[in-house]
Amino acid sequence: MKYIDDTVVMKRMKSRLKYNSIWKMIFLIATTLALLTLVILLVRIVTQGSGYLNWDFFNNFGSRFPEKAGIKAALIGSVLLMLIIAPVSMILGVGTAIYLEEYAKKNKFTSFIQMNISNLAGVPSIVFGLLGLTIFVRMLVLGKSLLAAGFTMSLLILPVIIVASQEAIRAVPKEQREASYGMGATKWQTITRVVLPAAIPGILTGSILALSRAVGETAPLVVLGIPVILQFLPDGLLSQFTTLPLQIYDWAKRPQEAFQYVASAGIIVLMILLVIMNSIAIFIRNKFQKRY
């Protein structure tokens, strides 16, 4: 008895191959349009801003004259801000992930906490700016300082780091933990010598992506009242500062056409900073992936 009709099978295969070709073409067009838009944007930024990339641009402070405008205060401010955000957010984020995955009991309360952490990852950044303004600027009287902005931006990226760290820790095979316990290691020794080294690639990937978001954020800093132009460098954690995104935002909204080119030069510097950060993360991640 013949259960399969070859004619029907070939007819259906032709229909499936036709739909496959159509969807493949649609996805190819979508990818091409996205890449083309990105290339056009990069070419426009590079052609407009490359002429302003010189030593004076890096050594001058902000100015109302485009030929004298520079990013010295903004670049130093962005670097100092990241030096605050990185340790605060990563220590709190990874520590929270370790507790939730390794120590906390699996019950309704921890599920409620997990759900809220995931929801916080999608909250608009301006909400964190309002939170930082209320708590750090006014209640703790930190003012419009590096410390207040660093804590606010740490809160912004903390949920992302927690979720990424949890996924990385959860991906470590249970057999490695059981082998460590079988050798007589304590829970803390297992976490620090087995779980964390194996989870570091995933933790770093999520953390660097979150830090890259913090570098490019403007809305929370605007809410905090951080100035866009400064004629001095920060001299402490409670000193005022400015950042590259704020400086670029100020230049881009000015009516003079020359400032649009200066803003493009600032965008180039910001992109280079992001590329360096991601390159360091990829290097460390690949190094640990070879070991574990």
The pLDDT tens digits for 187-203 are 888 998 888 888 888 88
- pLDDT at 154 (0 to 100): 93
pLDDT given for residue 98 in this prediction: 93
Q: How far apart are CA 179 and CA 208, in angstroms?
A: 31
pLDDT at 50: 84
Which amino acid, residue 243? T
CA distance 188 to 275: 35
Alpha helices in the chain (DSSP H): 6-49, 55-59, 72-98, 108-120, 125-132, 146-170, 174-182, 187-190, 196-216, 219-224, 244-252, 257-291
pLDDT band at 1 (very low <50, low <70, confident <90, very high): very low
Work out the percent of the chain whose per-residue pLDDT is above 70.
96
Instruction: Identify the residue whose tokens are 């490359």.
Output: 50
| Predicted TM-score of the model (pTM) | 0.83
Among candidates 265, 278, 270, 279, which has minimal Cα distance to 66?
Answer: 265
Query: Residue 115: CA atoms inside 13 Å, Cβ hemisphere, count?
Result: 7
Position 43 pLDDT exceeds 70: yes
Q: Is residue 212 within 8 Å of residue 118, measured between CB atoms?
A: no
Q: Assign domain 57-288 one CATH number from 3.65.10.10, 1.10.3720.10, 1.10.10.10, 3.40.190.10.
A: 1.10.3720.10
- Per-residue pLDDT tens for 78-94? 999 999 999 999 999 99
Separation CA 15–CA 9 (nearest Å) = 10
278 neighbors 113 (Cβ within 8 angstroms): no
260-284 residue pLDDT tens: 899 999 999 998 988 888 887 778 7
- Closest by Cα among 38, 40, 54, 43 to 262: 54
pLDDT in tens, 155-181: 999 999 999 999 999 988 888 888 888
